[in-house]
């Protein structure tokens, strides 16, 4: 799986938007971009995924650069419950391969 | 949505004990299940991939005789840590996927194993 690079940590104020960046310069044409998050003492939770176009769901938005070498997870209004480690993961669309986790970004939300 | 149930959520036991962790898919048939381990302040590390009805595939460095995986049905996989020692203390997490390509991977809430 191609590698992703994320900042180790970020901080946000409550009720402010948060933009979590991810670089994946070696992404291939068959790689989907997945985002998961892990709250303390829990298993990872699916957030969103996309291939080329921007995606929106009830949890977040995913903005994918035109060259697909980077993406940004957008939380429109951070809450204290959004404090977690966010993982950006590439996964080949052609197979049912396991997710390979990097270090992720630890998001702190300040009240 | 799809749910993966993992049991128990926490285990504390003496060194030398064998511990079994169950992972169940509650509303879908899980053709493939994955087992991860997570040490404090670290990311998840894949231990093994388990397909229903066949032997598990272990990642390099993971002892198959130490970590026994059984995936006898489409809704249940078990991980048994045999003769556990303090260095096996960790957070064990399972995940499951259904049939098809690029299907979502759903995670259990993990089992915190503490070996005294």
- Phi, psi angles (nearest 5°) of residue B84: -65, 145
- Give residue A38's pLDDT: 97
Strands B10-13 and B111-115: parallel
CB-based contact, B92 to chain A, within 8 Å:
no
CB-based contact, A95 to chain B, within 8 Å:
yes
Is residue B35 classed exposed, middle or buried when 0-12, 13-18 and 19+ CB atoms within 10 A define those classes?
Answer: buried
Is the pLDDT score of B9 beyond 70?
Answer: yes
A60, two tokens = 């977040």
Is the pLDDT score of B101 beyond 60?
Answer: no
Q: Which of B49, B102, B107 sits opposite A43 (nearest CB)?
A: B107
CB-based contact, A110 to chain B, within 8 Å:
no
pLDDT interval class at A28 (50, 70, 90) = very high
In three-state form (DSSP H/G/I as H, E/B as E, the rest C), the secondary structure along chain B is CCCEEEECCEEEECCCCCEEEEEEECCCCCCEEEEEEECCCCCCEEEEEEECCCCCEECCCCCCCCEEEEEEECCEEEEEECCCCHHHCEEEEEEEECCCCCCCCEECCCEEEEEC
Q: Residue A98 and residue B109: Cβ atoms within 8 Å?
A: no
CB-based contact, A65 to chain B, within 8 Å:
no
Q: What is the DSSP letter of A95?
A: S
Is the pLDDT score of A68 beyond 80?
Answer: yes
Q: Residue A46 and residue B101: Cβ atoms within 8 Å?
A: no
Q: How does pLDDT run across B62-99, given as a tens digit for each residue?
A: 999 999 999 888 899 999 999 999 999 999 999 998 76
CB-based contact, B2 to chain A, within 8 Å:
no
- Phi, psi angles (nearest 5°) of residue B86: -50, -35
Q: Name the closest residue on chain B to residue A33, using Cα atoms.
A: B102
Nearest-angstrom CA–CA distance, A107 and A111 = 13
pLDDT interval class at B54 (50, 70, 90) = confident
């Amino acid at each position: 799986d191609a590698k992703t690079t994320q900042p180790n940590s970020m901080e946000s104020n409550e009720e402010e938007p948060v933009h979590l960046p991810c670089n994946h310069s070696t992404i291939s044409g068959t790689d989907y971009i997945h985002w998961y998050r892990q709250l303390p003492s829990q298993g990872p939770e699916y957030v969103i995924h996309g291939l080329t176009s921007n995606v929106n769901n009830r949890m977040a938005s995913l903005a994918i650069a035109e060259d697909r070498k980077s993406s940004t997870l957008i939380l429109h209004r951070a809450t204290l419950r959004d404090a977690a480690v966010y993982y950006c993961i590439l996964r080949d669309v052609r197979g049912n391969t396991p997710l390979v986790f990097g270090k992720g970004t630890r998001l702190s939300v300040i009240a | 949505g799809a749910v993966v149930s993992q049991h128990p959520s926490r285990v504390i036991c003496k060194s030398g004990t064998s511990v079994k962790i169950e992972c169940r898919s509650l509303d879908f048939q899980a053709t493939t299940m994955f087992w991860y381990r997570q040490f404090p302040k670290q990311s998840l590390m894949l231990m093994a991939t388990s397909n229903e009805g066949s032997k598990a595939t272990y990642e390099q460095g993971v002892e198959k005789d130490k970590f026994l995986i059984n995936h006898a049905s489409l809704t249940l996989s078990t991980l048994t840590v045999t003769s556990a020692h303090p260095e096996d203390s960790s957070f064990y997490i399972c995940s499951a996927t259904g049939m098809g390509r690029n299907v979502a991977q759903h995670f259990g809430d993990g089992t915190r194993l503490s070996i005294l």
